[in-house]
């Protein structure tokens, strides 16, 4: 019996060609992923806008004082849930893994120091300008301690959407800085009521929110829970500091100007500390493509190539 030579099967597949075909297919494989990320982002923005509009309508009927807890703060978490239910593979497949607990604690400490610095700056500006801060006063019939808890719930609801979902989706396709800027812009425009109070207040508010996006987005790293934890604590502390200055009227002048200036200064400090501080470990390089399939190819500059050349020379001289 004459069978097909076994070597013919082996030679029919060229490892080099296989490697080149895999590399050549990579860009086309990435384009559907990018399209899914863009679609997921569009779903999140649309769902958040619709949920926020519904919550604004429901606020007067709920009997909850909007100064103590604004229901619209839960619009981002509803948008995130809708996006997760429709694009679960895209959301869960984001390339962000958990960081060590020590790093999370460092990020929380950095956030706390930044927020306390923000409060000191706006309080100092108010004192210099002759404005009396509101302080830890009750919000209507809601005690200040209960107000603190309600604000933590609202801040967490927002951050599940903004820093928990939107920024990571953007960051999978662009740099962290660009993702922070885009997320901050969407976050600022989401506060529609701030842009109906005149140009000075609108500009100050927009600058402040962009700076807050840098403060909250720079230390937000790791898994979903870690990012939301750090960002929610920072968001909560910023809201409390702002309330201690201006109460429930966050668009008062000159307080809003103090807030914008202080936010920019704190954002500059946080980004500088993050840039100079320890960075997360780099991703491990991929193993050599010939690993497990024999030694690496011999190049002209390697010692092995010189030894093999000498061996070939001795064999040639012996045969001559």
Burial category of 199 from C-beta neighbours within 10 Å (exposed 0-12, middle 13-18, buried 19 and up): exposed
Question: What is the pTM for the complete model shown?
Answer: 0.76
pLDDT of residue 133: 87
Could you read off the pLDDT of 71-88 as tens digits, one per residue?
999 999 999 999 999 999
Is the Cβ–Cβ distance between 79 and 44 less than 8 Å? yes
Query: pLDDT tens digit string along 41-68?
Result: 999 999 999 999 999 999 999 999 998 9
The C-alpha atoms of residue 320 and residue 158 are separated, in whole angstroms, by 83
Burial 210-247 (b: 16+ CB within 10 A, else e): bbbbbbbbbbbbbebebbbbbbbbbbbbbbbbbbbbbb
Cα angle, residue 222 at apex, residues 174 and 180 outer, rounded to 5°:
35
Per-residue CA distances from 44 to 36, 106, 213, 216 (Å): 12, 30, 18, 19
Where residue 31 falls among pLDDT bands split at 50, 70, 90?
Answer: low
Residue 288: asked if its preceding bond is cis (omega within 30°), the reply is no
Question: Cβ atoms within 10 A of the Cβ of 263, count?
Answer: 26
Q: What are phi and psi of 316, to 5 degrees?
A: -65, -40
What pLDDT is stored for residue 160 in this prediction?
97
Question: For all residues of the chain together, what is the average pLDDT?
Answer: 81
């Amino acid at each position: 019996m004459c069978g097909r030579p076994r070597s013919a099967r082996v030679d029919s597949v060229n490892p080099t060609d296989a490697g080149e075909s895999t590399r050549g297919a990579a860009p086309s494989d990435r384009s559907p992923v990018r399209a899914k990320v863009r679609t997921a982002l569009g779903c999140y923005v649309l769902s958040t806008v619709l949920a926020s509009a519904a919550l604004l309508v429901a606020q007067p009927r709920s009997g909850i004082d909007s100064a103590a807890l604004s229901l619209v703060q839960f619009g981002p978490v509803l948008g995130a849930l809708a996006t997760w239910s429709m694009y679960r593979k895209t959301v869960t497949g984001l390339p962000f893994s958990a960081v060590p607990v020590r790093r999370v604690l460092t990020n929380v400490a950095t956030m706390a120091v930044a927020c306390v610095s923000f409060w000191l700056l706006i309080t100092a500006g108010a004192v210099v300008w002759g404005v009396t801060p509101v302080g830890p006063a009750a919000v209507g019939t809601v005690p200040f301690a209960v107000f603190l808890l309600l604000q933590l719930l609202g801040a967490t609801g927002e951050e599940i959407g903004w820093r928990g979902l939107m920024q990571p989706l953007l960051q999978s396709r662009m740099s962290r800085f660009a993702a922070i800027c885009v997320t901050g812009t969407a976050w600022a425009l989401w506060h529609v009521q701030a842009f109906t109070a005149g140009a000075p207040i609108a500009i100050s508010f927009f600058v402040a929110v962009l700076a807050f996006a840098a403060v909250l987005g720079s230390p937000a790293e790791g898994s979903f829970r870690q990012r939301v934890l750090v960002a929610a604590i920072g968001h909560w502390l910023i809201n409390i500091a702002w309330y201690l200055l201006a109460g429930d009227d966050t668009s008062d002048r000159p307080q809003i100007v103090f807030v914008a200036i202080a936010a920019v200064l704190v954002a500059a400090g946080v980004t500088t500390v993050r840039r100079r501080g320890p960075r997360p470990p780099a991703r491990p390089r991929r193993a050599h493509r010939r690993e497990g399939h024999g030694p690496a190819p011999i190049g002209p500059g390697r010692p092995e190539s010189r030894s093999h050349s000498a061996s070939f020379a001795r064999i040639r001289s012996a045969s001559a």
